[in-house]
Structure 1
Amino acid sequence: MNFKTLDCSKTYLITGAAGFIGYYLSNRLLEQGCRVIGVDNMNAYYDVKLKNTRLELLEPYENFTFVKGSISDKNIVSNIFKTYSPSIVVNLAAQAGVRYSIENPDAYIESNIIGFYNILEACRYNPVDHLVYASSSSVYGANKKVPFEETDMVDNPVSLYAATKKSNELMAHTYSHLYKIPATGLRFFTVYGPLGRPDMAYFNFTQKYFSNEPIQIFNNGDFDNDLYRDFTYVDDIVEGIELLINNSPVLEGSNNHKVFNIGNNSPEKLMNFIETLEECLSNSLGKRVSFTKSFEPIKPGDVPATYASTNMLEKAIGFKPKTSIKEGLQKFSDWYVQYYNKNIVLNNK
């Protein structure tokens, strides 16, 4: 297959640019000389220092413009589109987290519903070449059929977060149909890597270890029926988005909206994942690492397994992730030990 390369004559708008995936995508585009407009509200859902670190790594690029603001503010979104006239929009800004949606539902309606509506309205009145937006594997709910395929029914979400992501897909479909906006939704499957989100299990486990606290494993201690997750390394995700931006399947034919799984297509048992993380941290520290484990009941909103069929995306753009769990977790472990070096030294005297 012959795929187009990035067109750096275009302007790329990345919402959630100081977020985990948003940072990596922005950096990839900037490295290749593209103009990137980054938007982020820099909220305190997790440690803002991490967001500031990501932003500091992007700011030296001359082609990077940062706008601090929330996509839930319609005036801010409208002004960005009028000022910068983006050709490609990648909407990654969202309130993340399944469990947090139970504690703070307002944040999800504001960012994931109202915010995405504002993006769609801006694309309606300021036509773009392609809108790519973040959906989630959580839309599959408690689906027991694996691997998850894009044709599966996704009408029974088990968390508000999942419901907002399903709503995004419906909203994008409607706007694409009515206003011919080329739009692609991506159902992400547990993205991980350096500079990741502290609320994710692998990051939280690592923090707990260095704080001399037990890690909580929400699988009832049932190793025979362990949770499965389709962990996807962030570089693989960004490569897939980059291919999709410029080789959009929605530009072919009359269908202006498509949804794809973007995952690793290789689920890991949660306990195997934890053992691999222990091994990688051992390599980074040069000493044996073993987590103290506390087994808890499965949390409301959690699903037993996430497992992506990525056949559709591979057929459309040639996407195939190549980073193994061991390779990806080793990169994370090495980064963590370096980034938090002072704390690690203090806690291990």
Structure 2
Amino acid sequence: MKVLVTGAAGFIGFSVAKKLLERGDDVVGFDVVNDYYDPALKEARLEVLEQTAQHTQGTFTFIRANLADKAIVDQCFKDHQFDRVIHLAAQAGVRYSLENPLAYVESNLIGFTNIIEACRYNKTPHLTYASTSSVYGANTTMPFSEKHGVNHPVQFYAATKRANELMAHSYSHLFGLPTTGLRFFTVYGPWGRPDMAPFKFTKNIIEGKTIQVYNHGNHSRDFTFISDIVEGVIRTSDQIAQPNPNWDSNNPDPSTSYAPFRIFNIGNNNPVKLIDFINAIEQSTGHSAIKELLPLQPGDVQDTLADSTALQNAVGYKPSVSVEDGVQQFVDWYRDFYKA
């Protein structure tokens, strides 16, 4: 197949694109390669994709541009007939959304609109896009289920991703465009983002620097290893969304529809206390962390836990990498990449 992967220089986008190339798909990557975090890491990921394409039957084409530029997005779809679109580009980060909300409007709202419009006019068979567990916001019922209400986000980032889900449903309804949203839980692993806790903790622990531990490490996250995420994303993209024939408007299921629309959680279904995750990094690095214990930050949620049963039933998704193994793989990659 020919697949468009937006955010191809990003952590998840790169990992998905690499896996698609390895199985022989032709991949068009699209990314602005901004400086939200170290562009050198993004460039290194792109080099790996170029190298991977040279040793597989797949091809890799890269478009360095902003998804908010509608003309370039339209030209991309004109030049290529995509069998699938996997839209992973977004302005991420909970705390940054408190500082620069307009960046989220440009990427998560305008960029998403340009992509879904292009899918509509070019009759793309299936759009799979990234949502986030952050949409559950003030919800405290565990585990988080796609059937729960998500109308009370606690930061602007989550609000924009919830907007994507609603926008996708409108296009599925109006134009019959098959769409699937994936609510990612905390993703970590090799080539991970420097702005995320696993990366920052590992870096500072190895360098003997203090780590900031919010909520005294007592909150939990459903840490999910990147290879498990990639497997779920590709399986979901391969299976085109279909209308739910049993959808009942009197008792509506918010995760499906009479239209070709789906939303899935994609997580590990195994919450880990932050302090235990730090302990795993200490074990893998052989260093003890110097901790600065701080209160929970504005916009953070206390706990996350995914109920991924629906995704497992739909595409056979079943995460297999333990936190101990995943942390060790990340630490090994970090030491090799940064010669640490």
The bucket for the TM-score relative to the shorter chain is over 0.9
Deviations 1:318-345, CA, capped at 9 Å, x for gaps: 111010000000000011111111xx3x
Report matched runs for 1:152-167 at 5 Å: 152-167=148-163
The alpha-carbon deviation at position 160 of structure 1 amounts to: 0.5
Q: TM-score, normalised by structure 2?
A: 0.93
Identity across aligned pairs (percent)? Answer: 51
- 1:46 corresponds in structure 2 to 37
Residues 252 and 28 from structure 1, CA distance in 2 versus in 1: closer, same or farther, beyond 3 angstroms?
Answer: farther
- 1:6 corresponds in structure 2 to none
Name the SS of the counterpart of 1:59 in structure 2: helix
Is structure 2 residue 177 aligned with structure 1 residue 181? yes
Q: TM-score, normalised by structure 1?
A: 0.90
- Native 8 Å contact 1:189 1:231 kept in 2: yes
Q: Report how many aligned residue pairs link the two structures.
A: 323
- 2:324 corresponds in structure 1 to 326
- 1:271 corresponds in structure 2 to 275
- Native 8 Å contact 1:91 1:131 kept in 2: yes
Name the SS of the counterpart of 2:27 in structure 1: strand
User: 1:241 is matched by which residue type in structure 2?
Assistant: V
Is structure 2 residue 80 aligned with structure 1 residue 87? no
- 1:3 corresponds in structure 2 to none
Is structure 2 residue 227 aligned with structure 1 residue 235? yes
Distance 2:179 2:333 in 1: 35
The answer for unaligned runs of 5 or more in structure 2 is 246-257
Is structure 2 residue 259 aligned with structure 1 residue 255? yes
- Native 8 Å contact 1:278 1:291 kept in 2: yes
User: 1:167 is matched by which residue type in structure 2?
Assistant: A
Deviations 1:236-283, CA, capped at 9 Å, x for gaps: 00101111122234377553111000000000011111101111112x
Name the SS of the counterpart of 2:301 in structure 1: coil
The alpha-carbon deviation at position 59 of structure 1 amounts to: 1.2
Is structure 2 residue 98 aligned with structure 1 residue 105? no
Which of 6, 29, 32 pairs up with 1:15? 6
Residues 277 and 240 from structure 1, CA distance in 2 versus in 1: closer, same or farther, beyond 3 angstroms?
Answer: same
- 1:25 corresponds in structure 2 to 16
- Native 8 Å contact 1:142 1:304 kept in 2: no
Distance 2:244 2:3 in 1: 21
- Native 8 Å contact 1:184 1:250 kept in 2: no
The alpha-carbon deviation at position 142 of structure 1 amounts to: 2.2
Distance 2:152 2:143 in 1: 17
User: 1:84 is matched by which residue type in structure 2?
Assistant: H
User: 2:224 is matched by which residue type in structure 1?
Assistant: T
Name the SS of the counterpart of 1:184 in structure 2: strand
What CA RMSD, in Å, does the superposition of the two structures yield over aligned residues? 1.2
Is structure 2 residue 253 aligned with structure 1 residue 244? no
